Amino acid sequence: MRRQPRQARSRARVEAILGAADRVLSREGYEALTMRRIAEEAGVPVGSIYQFLPDKGAVVDALGRRYLEAFGTAVDELVERALVGELTDLVGTMVDVYAELFRSQPGGMALWAGRHLSPELARADEASNALVADGLRRIVEHLTGGSGDERARRATRMAVWAANAVLHEVFKSDGEPDLETVDELKRMLHRYWEDLRVRLTAGGSEAGGRGSVPSEP
């Protein structure tokens, strides 16, 4: 950003600008996202946008970072719930939380679908995925009594990659999301989690790994 908004009025103006940009992205696509179009949608003079955001790329970066921060906040809350024993359905809760984030960020979906990302934002996206995977690893280790070996790190990265790929497909279209596919994602990850829990639970072994298929949860 050209300058950070410090007063409440300025912060509200920036939020209105980013909210307008999100709506334009979701309804009209990336190509329609111009400074003039954002100003029209937000109901503000175009010059007021330039006070904070010098160009379209800066708007996209600010939006992208806001989307990614929401994912970071969500995983922190999931970790807290797990540590106090409130996370009784790890897979179902995780998928529901992230599906709601995808659903509530249509502009982000339009942005990521086209991959109109600056190098900095692409790196932030990768860092966000790593943060989510690390939070999930902490939850898994807490639930299994594991010690954080490479199996846990690899497995949680794979779970995040799989969930991201499926949810991007589910929510990228303009129509109603295919919630049955979300249920299939849960089913797939439930089976993976049951297998992983056997391998990582204290006293467990690799017996639940290669070649074995856990019972249906």
Higher pLDDT, 6 or 24: 24
Q: Are 71 and 127 in contact (CB under 8 A)?
A: no
% the chain with pLDDT above 90 = 34
Give the residue-averaged pLDDT of 15-19. 91
Give the residue-averaged pLDDT of 147-163. 88
The domain defined by 1-54 carries CATH number 1.20.1530.20: no
Give the residue-averaged pLDDT of 31-40. 92
Task: Give the pTM.
Answer: 0.74
Which residue has tokens 């497909």? 169
pLDDT at 65: 84
From the list 152, 215, 217, the residue with the least C-alpha distance to 190 is 217
Higher pLDDT, 52 or 214: 52
Q: Which of 47-56, 161-170, 174-183 has the lowest mean pLDDT?
A: 174-183
Distance (Å, whole) CA 63 – CA 66: 5
Where does residue 45 fall: left (phi above 0), alpha (psi -120 to 50 degrees), or beta otherwise?
A: beta
Residue 205 has pLDDT above 50, yes or no: no
Average pLDDT, the chain: 83
Sign for the pseudo-dihedral over CA of 157, 160, 161, 162: positive
CA 108 to chain centre: 10
From the list 24, 13, 110, 10, the residue with the least C-alpha distance to 67 is 110
| Segment 83-141, tens digit of pLDDT | 898 888 999 999 999 899 888 877 777 776 666 667 777 777 788 888 889 999 999 98
CA 181 to chain centre: 18
Distance (Å, whole) CA 103 – CA 105: 6
pLDDT at 78: 92
- Beta-carbon neighbour count of residue 53 at 10 Å? 24
Residue 209 has pLDDT above 50, yes or no: no
Backbone angles phi, psi at 205, to 5 degrees: -145, -175
Distance (Å, whole) CA 128 – CA 132: 6
pLDDT at 3: 67
Residue 208 has pLDDT above 60, yes or no: no
pLDDT at 203: 52
Angle at 121 between CA 118 and CA 126, to 5 degrees: 130
CATH number of 57-208: 1.10.357
Give residue limits of the domains in the chain.
1-54, 57-208
Are the folds of 1-54 and 57-208 the same? no
